[in-house]
Amino acid sequence: MGLLSYFYPHVIAQSHSKYNKNIKVIERFGKKELSVNGIQQSGSYTKKLWVKGMKNLSESSEKGITSILILGVGGGTLIPILRERYPESDITAVDIDAEIIRIYRTYFQEPGVLSVNLICNDATKIVITLHKSGIRYDMIIVDLFTGNDVPESIEQTAFHRGIRRLLTEGGIAAWNYFSYRNQQAKSEKLKIMLSSVYNSVQTKRILYNMFFYCS
């Protein structure tokens, strides 16, 4: 890490892809952050968000977590948090953008952390593929963003039902969603959709985001 990053942040890598026009790896205070289309996808805020988000899971909902599916890789901030919490679990992470996966492997994958199964695919398609294969997960975490917005696909009831079908009995799905400005109405709409699919939906506002815990 460069000493100059303690005085001012600087870009150490920049790229783009079919799905994201502006991808930057930024060094700030000696640590790397991922910015996608001007929105921070990893860094101090993101880590604090996920640490708080995972703490809100009840102990009863966490028993027997051996398989986890993450939809949305980003800078991979969540992966070491899950590894520390569930050290023996099998973790699969999916992202539609191959460039995001490459960036994660190159700049953010922590040495010594047990391997994660990374899949480049559309979340809506992989949900169908996994269901047909008979694979089930104890925990599914949905963290799908394209910059400052979310894909239209996750606002469809069919996608929510697909996620539920992938859960083991007693499994839990956690959704990370924005909760500010024009996203407030969408957040309320998402809660209504989730409530029509799951038996229980708990919500928690954390920093500028809204978390949904579904079981």
Contact indicator for 87, 65 with CB cutoff of 8 Å = no
DSSP secondary structure of 98-119: HHHHHHIIIIIPPTTSPP-EEE
Give residue limits of the domains in the chain.
42-214
User: What is the pLDDT, as a whole number, of residue 60?
Assistant: 46
d(CA 102, CA 34): 12
Contact indicator for 54, 64 with CB cutoff of 8 Å = no
Task: Read off the pLDDT of residues 62-104 as tens digits, 9 standing for 90 and up.
Answer: 568 999 999 999 899 999 999 888 988 999 999 999 999 999 9
Residue 114 to residues 48, 84, 118, Cα–Cα distance (Å): 22, 10, 12
d(CA 108, CA 116): 13
User: What is the pLDDT, as a whole number, of residue 110?
Assistant: 80
d(CA 1, CA 32): 8
**Domain 42-214: which CATH class?**
alpha beta
What residue ranges of the chain have pLDDT lower than 50? 60
